[in-house]
Chain A
Amino acid sequence: MAEAVGKKTFVVTRFDPDRDEVPRQQAYEIPVQADWKVLDALNFIKDEVDASLSHRWSCRMAVCGSCGMMVNGEPRLSCKDPLSDYGDTVEIAPLANFPVIRDLVIEFEGFMEKLKSVKPWIIRAKELAAEDGPVNQKPSELEEFKQFSMCINCMLCYSACPVVANEPEFIGPAAIALGHRYSLDSRDEGAAERNEIFRGEGTVFSCSYANECSEVCPKNVDPAAAVNQAKFNAVIDWMTGLVIKRGGQG
């Protein structure tokens, strides 16, 4: 084990639903190592100082999206966030804009409902049988949506979005980026269905383009681009629908 290079104080937001009326803060001063991420410090606290601290984590390589939290007020993936970027005191809180189950563990059932609402799967007008063979896709077609398929559902974008904070019905950046990703997929035939969803209440037109979602995205998905491209597509689709009847009847 590497030598500790110094000490830092972590001010962690705690909440025990059985004991606390509202969240409170608790400070821990611990030895830290030069190559630690924020998650390493939390795991040290959990293992060596206070076993009652609750936080989510899994892969430790910015793939699973479990360890999102507010670090000094910014939504960050704690496994990717070098501790050396911070001073002697680091404030850690659960993701903003989410109900909190315990300490740094947020409730994400609402997020899962929003994801599902955009039909994030390939929709075909007629399902193909296995013997029909694969539906091929060119690299250039993959390139059109690949960026939006890199989302790891870490929910940092929801935590940064001012619209999410104030409009509970807003389905939010990751869900819209996911729906848009499928609408751009050359194998998908459900763009019209999703455009109809996107023209509804609390969807793309609730976005006021703060761009915060893209600023905090750890995978450079650029959800703000997806949301605003989806606005464009929803309008074009609506205008096209005025002159061309759905189903190919002019």
Chain B
Amino acid sequence: MARYAHPKAMSSSKPARTRTAPPQLPDQFPFEGRYRAYTLFDATGILYLMLGFLALGTIWSLGSGEEAWKGVQIIYRSWVYVAFHALSLAAVIFVGIRFFGFFPKAQPPRIGPLKPPPQPVILAMLYVAWIGVAGAMTVILAGGIF
């Protein structure tokens, strides 16, 4: 039944006046209720770590000759890598939407004399920038510009 938080969570620096029961975790932490989205949000970091290693491997193969580069391209066409990238795309979209949802209210009321724009405007700007950058990257990667 009991799942304990850190034994010193919210404890005083002075000894308690009576014996206390140790602090318990919220029942729903980490996989139920709203915590599920939070845990998923943090867990996507594992995907980004793997993507980072993959990107390093790809860059390494670029410097290792044409054969190595062709080999990497063949590997990337396998269903495992396609599935991994589809999962990563879903993770990026999920993280983007959650992050953008929280971002506007995290802006301070003013920076020096300047006030930030209204929250809906900040949100709209974030989505426009995201879609714009993603669109530009897609065009570049498809060979549309260079």
Chain A contacts to B: CB under 8 angstroms: 15, 17, 20, 22-23, 25, 70, 73-75, 93, 96-102, 106-111, 113, 144, 158-160, 162, 164-168, 184, 208-212, 215, 222, 224-225, 228-229, 231-233, 236
Contact = CB atoms under 8 A, between A and B. Distances in A.
B73 interface: no
Given A73-B27, A159-B26, A212 B9 contact: no
A231 B6 contact: no
Nearest to A18: B19
Contacts of B9: 97-99, 164-166, 168
B99 to A, nearest CB: 8
User: Which of A15, A210, A224, A232 has the most chain B CB within a 10 Å cutoff?
Assistant: A210
Interface residues of B, number: 39
29 contacts: A17-B18, A73-B27, A74-B28, A96-B24, A96-B27, A97-B5, A97-B10, A97-B23, A97-B25, A98-B10, A99-B9, A99-B16, A99-B20, A99-B23, A100-B22, A100-B23, A101-B16, A101-B20, A107-B12, A111-B10, A164-B5, A164-B9, A165-B23, A165-B29, A167-B6, A168-B6, A168-B8, A168-B9, A232-B108
Contact of A113 (B12, B33, B35): B12
Nearest to A23: B21
Given A22-B2, A96-B5, A158-B10, A229 B26 contact: no
Q: Which 3 A-B pairs have the closest CB atoms?
A: A228-B106, A109-B12, A73-B27
B13 interface: yes
B11 A73 contact: no
A222 B111 contact: no
The interface residues of chain A, by DSSP majority, are classed as mixed
Contact of A212 (B16, B25, B34, B109): B34
B112 to A, nearest CB: 8
A184 to B, nearest CB: 6
Contacts of A209: 102, 106
Interface in B82-123: 102, 105-111
A74 B35 CA distance: 11
Nearest to A229: B108
